[in-house]
Amino acid sequence: MTHKGDTPMTITPATHAISINPATGEQLSVLPWAGADDIENALQLAAAGFRDWRETNIDYRAEKLRDIGKALRARSEEMAQMITREMGKPINQARAEVAKSANLCDWYAEHGPAMLKAEPTLVENQQAVIEYRPLGTILAIMPWNFPLWQVMRGAVPIILAGNGYLLKHAPNVMGCAQLIAQVFKDAGIPQGVYGWLNADNDGVSQMIKDSRIAAVTVTGSVRAGAAIGAQAGAALKKCVLELGGS
């Protein structure tokens, strides 16, 4: 809202993420880029959420995955419509993406705990155990083309393993990002265990450098992957890159 005499806020891609319906050209929503205070608040929440989440047992976390699947199914049509409006895929494909994502939650709830069991092994002929311990909060930079699936296929196993997940989504699917966050809230996932932030490139760089981010995962272009991989390497952090063409 502006008052008489105020200078209207200028909205450009440099100041805001802008969601536009590709079929109609309609502007769906705008969201300002996160500032330094927003980033600090998100990192504080993530650190606190991870400290508690890592202490929960695997059976509890598996049940929470089932709750996420239920919450997603409860909003399935809302989510599918949002996907179609923001990135333009046919509604039947959007509905299939939602169903696949909900099924993923159930699959990991059933099979995931066995993957994380400690494994006996030998080290220099002595009995030893391989344990899978949480790393921390994972920063995930995700694309627009599968705005739900790309998030869920990473967030679900990451959270099951006792880690936190902090999403930086593509700027043209902010409505999807907000709705995904609501699904996790509906499922009772504690604040900070799953989070999202509308960060620009400078904000991403700030988060990669921060000690409260344990690792980074990116799906995007070769150019983006090279830049983010270099920053993660400079910070000696694990980085997973899934890269496409341009």
What whole-number distance in Å separates Cα of residue 199 and Cα of residue 204? 6
> Is residue 236 domain-resident?
yes
Q: Is residue 234 part of a domain?
A: yes
114 belongs to a structural domain = yes
Could you read off the pLDDT tens digit of each residue along the chain, which spans 246 residues?
A: 333 444 456 888 888 999 999 999 999 989 999 999 999 999 999 999 999 999 999 999 999 999 999 999 999 999 999 999 999 999 999 999 999 999 999 999 999 999 999 999 999 989 999 999 999 999 999 999 999 999 999 999 999 999 999 999 999 999 999 999 999 999 999 999 999 999 999 999 999 999 999 999 999 999 999 999 999 999 999 999 999 864
Nearest to 33 by CA among 181, 174, 147, 152: 174
On whether residue 6 sits in a domain, the answer given is no
Helices 174-186 and 76-87: angle between axes, nearest 10 degrees = 160
At 33, list the tokens: 């880029």
Q: Has residue 158 been placed in a domain? A: yes
Task: Indicate which CATH number applies to the domain containing 197.
Answer: 3.40.605.10
Structural domain boundaries enclosing 217? 35-243
Q: Is 22 inside a domain boundary?
A: no
Total domains, the chain: 1
**Each residue of 127-159: b (16+ CB within 10 Å) or e?**
eeeeeeebbbbbbbbbbbebbbbbbbbbbbbbb
List pLDDT tens digits, range 183-226.
Answer: 999 999 999 999 999 999 999 999 999 999 999 999 999 999 99
3-state DSSP: the chain helix, strand, coil percent, rounded to 5? 50, 20, 30
